A and B are shown apart, each in its own frame.
Chain A
């Protein structure tokens, strides 16, 4: 309750804590909401409940030892986190990775993008009240995780890339399994779409909710689907191609209105494009080594380097500062896309109802492990 003259029967403004232990906040996010009845006057996200000091830990570890820790930031898209770190380190050390390694990385990263978008799809829908998609999504995500397991033994925290390439050769039959899944997947995405895309309730809950104009999206530093949903065709894979993304063909989908429904359409289309990339990579998978000729002990020169990849959430960047002949980063800053995207939450929910807050948190697709690091 707020204000000196507010009494039990004369409440105009109410402050409510949403989270940190709330299933719809996707982790330990707390939002302090100022309400007038059902209407949101202001929202203040409070973060840090999952702060583990990862950036501090990086400073104590040798470069390859950092990679497992990147898994634990965006823990539902570990492969792209590994990729970001490795790409940045390769930029710093001047390593060119063999084409086969690059293609394997792209396959893993795109499968990871689909897996991550499936988690988003299921949880976003369940937040809004559609329970069924969740079961479909998690059934199919499990098959992707099975592929990861067959490749590297882990399902969630993959640690599946190395500075200079990838650690493992594909197991026997993996390509066929992957191809079978990729060939079957468009049908499944159609299946999800029949549940939601033209669903009247879904549209009522998402169209016109959390609108972000293109100017605001840039101003807030949004990246990934929230930026593209606002109509800006911008994707790190296209703008600063890393690995071998310049050799594959894919579209960058954009939305028109910048609302929750558009971001939904963008992510669904991204899944299809990811499938397209995986299929091309499987077809063109080159033979050859999977590791570049990199020294056993990696020593960096003095300098600061920034490298970024398009993670499922947006631009995931690593800023690494090193001293001469260092084997550990002097400073490693992670630019977490969720952290930056979440900042726009108050603007997006002002004037909406409490139930829309849940929809907007879902549409931002945040992972608290990455926000708090």
Chain B
């Protein structure tokens, strides 16, 4: 790391402190000359560097990686051609559209998701479903989950993201009939969030095991996990309890 920004000995330094050093000793305490000199040299160097940077700044803008990062802004994306086409093609399908960091996100009604996806695939050429996932907002009014779809079109390499707000307990229409790849993705969302997909050919848990209770990616699921007993027999064992937690008493059962 140290050799990343080597400071070459600056040859302007020795003469600059002489000009500036005249007023410094007045407010500074008397110090050993060597130290003072070093401090003056450093100050002069910094000043010279700052001056140099200031002088150069207008002529030659600093490269982007030396500037303070500028986070992307959100912008309205209602004029995006795909959003316009979607609004025209499926009535009432666009509840909002925004552009952030180069991605267009369209908020769509969850009830019409299958129709919207079919329209986008058939009419707009979004033949590739990149991913499907969910986000949990437990305290939000109007629906706890965001089910997020994003798709890709090969013709002009464009991507579009859909966001459907789903309330807890509501089912969303499955899109696995539209893109086969949605099958496992929907299973994963069902497993980890508990969002059900109507019309899915085999909605089973996929990453946790059959018989597991709870949905690990919900915000109210503890990060440290739940005990196996509570996961399998929630009626018998309280959260955090179970046969594993009381393993000392296991011998009695076998007698």
Q: Which residue of A lies closest to B136 (CB)?
A: A331
| A91, A218, A339, A340: the one within 8 Å of B101 (CB) | A91
User: Does A317 reach chain B (CB closer than 8 Å)?
Assistant: yes
Q: Flag if A331 contacts B135 (CB, 8 Å).
A: yes
User: Does A150 reach chain B (CB closer than 8 Å)?
Assistant: no
- Tell which of A6-14, A94-102, A244-252, A271-279 binds the partner: A94-102
For window 71-122 of chain B, which residues contact chain A by CB distance below 8 Å? Answer: 71-72, 74, 100-103, 105
> CB-CB < 8 A to A97: which residues of B?
65
Q: Flag if B150 contacts A306 (CB, 8 Å).
A: yes
Q: Flag if A48 contacts B209 (CB, 8 Å).
A: yes
Q: A339 and B184 in contact (CB under 8 A), knowing A218-B127, A289-B5? A: yes
Q: A55 and B217 in contact (CB under 8 A), knowing A97-B65, A330-B135? A: yes
User: Does B225 reach chain A (CB closer than 8 Å)?
Assistant: yes
- Tell which of B8-16, B26-34, B45-53, B175-183 binds the partner: B175-183
> CB-CB < 8 A to A319: which residues of B?
131, 133, 148, 150
| B64, B67, B103: the one within 8 Å of A306 (CB) | B103
Bound CA span A348–B69, Å: 47
For window 311-328 of chain A, which residues contact chain B by CB distance below 8 Å? Answer: 315, 317, 319, 321
Q: Flag if B216 contacts A53 (CB, 8 Å).
A: yes
Q: Flag if A304 contacts B70 (CB, 8 Å).
A: no
Interchain nearest-CB distance for A327 vs B (Å): 14
> CB-CB < 8 A to A221: which residues of B?
128-130, 179-181
Q: A293 and B209 in contact (CB under 8 A), knowing A239-B157, A317-B130? A: no
> CB-CB < 8 A to A300: which residues of B?
71
Q: Flag if A169 contacts B74 (CB, 8 Å).
A: no
Bound CA span A234–B100, Å: 25
Interchain nearest-CB distance for A316 vs B (Å): 11
User: Does A69 reach chain B (CB closer than 8 Å)?
Assistant: no
For window 75-95 of chain A, which residues contact chain B by CB distance below 8 Å? Answer: 91-95
| A92, A220, A293, A339: the one within 8 Å of B180 (CB) | A220
For window 142-176 of chain B, which residues contact chain A by CB distance below 8 Å? Answer: 148, 150, 154, 157, 159, 161
User: Does A126 reach chain B (CB closer than 8 Å)?
Assistant: no
| A56, A165, A219, A372: the one within 8 Å of B217 (CB) | A56
Q: Which residue of A lies closest to B100 (CB)?
A: A303
How many A-B residue contacts, CB cutoff 8 Å? 137
User: Does B3 reach chain A (CB closer than 8 Å)?
Assistant: yes
Q: Which residue of B lies closest to A292 (CB)?
A: B65
Q: Flag if A240 contacts B157 (CB, 8 Å).
A: yes
> CB-CB < 8 A to B43: which residues of A?
none
Interchain nearest-CB distance for A288 vs B (Å): 8
User: Does B206 reach chain A (CB closer than 8 Å)?
Assistant: yes
Bound CA span A372–B216, Å: 13
Q: Flag if A303 contacts B184 (CB, 8 Å).
A: no
Q: What's the tally of chain B residues with a CB closer than 8 Å to chain A?
A: 51
User: Does A373 reach chain B (CB closer than 8 Å)?
Assistant: yes
Q: Flag if B180 contacts A301 (CB, 8 Å).
A: no
| B127, B130, B179, B185: the one within 8 Å of A315 (CB) | B130
Interchain nearest-CB distance for A201 vs B (Å): 33
> CB-CB < 8 A to A321: which residues of B?
135
Q: Flag if A219 contacts B223 (CB, 8 Å).
A: no
Q: Flag if A219 contacts B179 (CB, 8 Å).
A: yes
Q: A335 and B65 in contact (CB under 8 A), knowing A56-B217, A60-B223, A305-B101? A: no
Q: Which residue of A lies closest to B189 (CB)?
A: A333
Q: Flag if A47 contacts B71 (CB, 8 Å).
A: no
> CB-CB < 8 A to B102: which residues of A?
91
For window 176-223 of chain B, which residues contact chain A by CB distance below 8 Å? Answer: 179-181, 183-185, 192, 205-209, 216-217, 221, 223
Q: Which residue of B lies closest to A48 (CB)?
A: B207
Taken residue by residue from 144 to 181, chain A's Cβ proximity to chain B (1 for < 8 Å, 0 otherwise) reads as: 00000000000000000000110011000000000000
| B127, B131, B184, B225: the one within 8 Å of A333 (CB) | B131
Q: Flag if B65 contacts A96 (CB, 8 Å).
A: yes
Bound CA span A343–B74, Å: 35
Which of B63, B207, B208, B216 counts the most A-chain CB atoms under 10 A from its CB? B207
Bound CA span A312–B144, Å: 36
User: Does B255 reach chain A (CB closer than 8 Å)?
Assistant: no
Bound CA span A168–B2, Å: 10
User: Does A24 reach chain B (CB closer than 8 Å)?
Assistant: no
User: Does B7 reach chain A (CB closer than 8 Å)?
Assistant: no
Q: Flag if B4 contacts A343 (CB, 8 Å).
A: no
Bound CA span A289–B62, Å: 13
Taken residue by residue from 13 to 32, chain A's Cβ proximity to chain B (1 for < 8 Å, 0 otherwise) reads as: 00000000000000000000
User: Does A33 reach chain B (CB closer than 8 Å)?
Assistant: no
> CB-CB < 8 A to B69: which residues of A?
93-96, 292-295
Bound CA span A239–B154, Å: 10
Q: Which residue of A lies closest to B73 (CB)?
A: A301
Interchain nearest-CB distance for B216 vs A (Å): 6
Q: Flag if A293 contacts B66 (CB, 8 Å).
A: yes
Sampled A-B contacts (15; CB under 8 Å): A53-B225, A56-B216, A56-B221, A57-B223, A169-B3, A221-B130, A291-B4, A292-B69, A293-B67, A303-B72, A305-B103, A317-B131, A319-B131, A319-B150, A340-B184
- 7 more A-B contacts (CB under 8 A) besides A59-B223, A306-B159? A48-B207, A55-B192, A96-B69, A98-B63, A293-B67, A301-B71, A321-B135
Task: Enumerate the 9 nearest inter-chain pairs by beta-carbon distance, A residue then B residue, closest first.
Answer: A221-B181, A96-B64, A292-B65, A48-B207, A98-B65, A94-B71, A95-B69, A333-B133, A51-B207
